[in-house]
Amino acid sequence: MEDAVLFDTDGEIAIITLNRPETRNCLSREVRDGLADAWDRFENTAALRVAILTGSGETFCAGGDLKEMVATGMRVPPRDMFALPYDTVELSKPTIAAVNGAAFAGGWMIAQACDLCVASDRARFAVTEVKVGRSSPWAAPLIHMIGQRIMMEILLTGKPITAQRAYEIGLVNRLAAPEALMDTAFGLAHEVLAGAPLSVRAARDTVMLATEMGRSAALQAARAAAELCYHSDDAQEGPAAFAEKRTPIWQGR
């Protein structure tokens, strides 16, 4: 059903909302398909530069659909089962998770896959796979976000952590009161939008390249990734606007 994931826009921002509150926005087939379509639409709409992912109701996402797993006898999930940025989906634009409630198992997974994360101070996060005999290979990139011993405890115990704790360990960028969550996410999105589009893309690429490589290789790859930015019209507009004490007009080229 096409309303399993809602896709709205506000200027250059896409708002993607998991819309199955009656099942705590679990990652059923219809939600998975809707999320894949939403990421594709975001990436391929030139006017959209940042996406915010959130959930309807009081839960961000409770994880995978365990009933479906039982009914299908699922063992190892298919490689393309979940649409995850920088895993099964390639995105060139920034994404922000706005976590409004519990982000458990697959819910943590999709929040983790976003570039930035804003959370309600009532949100909770957990990698609960050890509680149900499953596994969480998708959590491997966490080692680049939080400390090893913290990651080990989270995965080995499956116990939830509070939004405050998630903020303290570096999983969450900003906390907000529940009623201010989306305003906070939009505020962060607009801060990103203030930058030159090609510079933002190069910055995002630099971060991701640095997580994949050693120091020297990452520096070399980042320099290559920055070439398009340096040769752009915006690279001339930025310094000119600064010198003329005006707001730059970005063209994204």
CA pair distance 234, 178, nearest whole angstrom: 37
Report the pLDDT value the prediction gives residue 132, as an integer from 0 to 100: 84
Same domain, 230 and 120: no
- Of 151, 166, 193, the position where a domain reaches its end is 193
Same domain, 119 and 145: yes
Same domain, 134 and 215: no
Report the pLDDT value the prediction gives residue 117, as an integer from 0 to 100: 98
Residue 177 in domain: yes
Residue 252 in domain: no
Same domain, 84 and 172: yes
**Phi, psi at residue 182, to the nearest 5°?**
-70, -35
Residue 17 in domain: yes
What does the angle CA 68 – CA 22 – CA 40 come to, to the nearest 5 degrees? 70
Burial degree of 76 (CB within 10 A; 0-12, 13-18, 19+)? exposed
Same domain, 188 and 203: no
Same domain, 188 and 202: no
Distances (CA, A) of 56 to 22, 160, 166: 10, 20, 21
Residue 251 in domain: no
Same domain, 92 and 33: yes
Element of type H or E holding 188: helix 181-193
Residue 54 in domain: yes
What is the number of other CB atoms lying within 10 angstroms of the CB of residue 8?
A: 10
Which range marks the domain in which residue 205 is found?
Answer: 197-243
Convert the pLDDT of each residue in 160-198 to its tens digit. 999 999 999 999 999 999 999 999 999 999 999 999 999
- Report the number of distinct structural domains present in the chain: 2
Element of type H or E holding 202: helix 197-212
Same domain, 139 and 220: no
Would you list the DSSP string of 131-186? Answer: GTT---GGGGGGGGTS-HHHHHHHHHH---EEHHHHHHTTS-SEEE-GGGHHHHHH
CA pair distance 228, 223, nearest whole angstrom: 10
Residue 248 in domain: no
- Of 170, 193, 216, the position where a domain reaches its end is 193
- The CATH number of whichever domain residue 68 belongs to comes to 3.90.226.10
Report the pLDDT value the prediction gives residue 224, as an integer from 0 to 100: 87
Residue 36 in domain: yes
- Of 160, 177, 193, the position where a domain reaches its end is 193
Same domain, 179 and 201: no
Residue 155 near residue 139 (C-beta atoms within 8 A)? yes
Same domain, 10 and 129: yes
pTM for the predicted model, two decimal places: 0.92
Same domain, 180 and 212: no
Residue 109 near residue 84 (C-beta atoms within 8 A)? yes
Residues of the chain with pLDDT under 50: 1
Residue 47 in domain: yes
Same domain, 71 and 161: yes
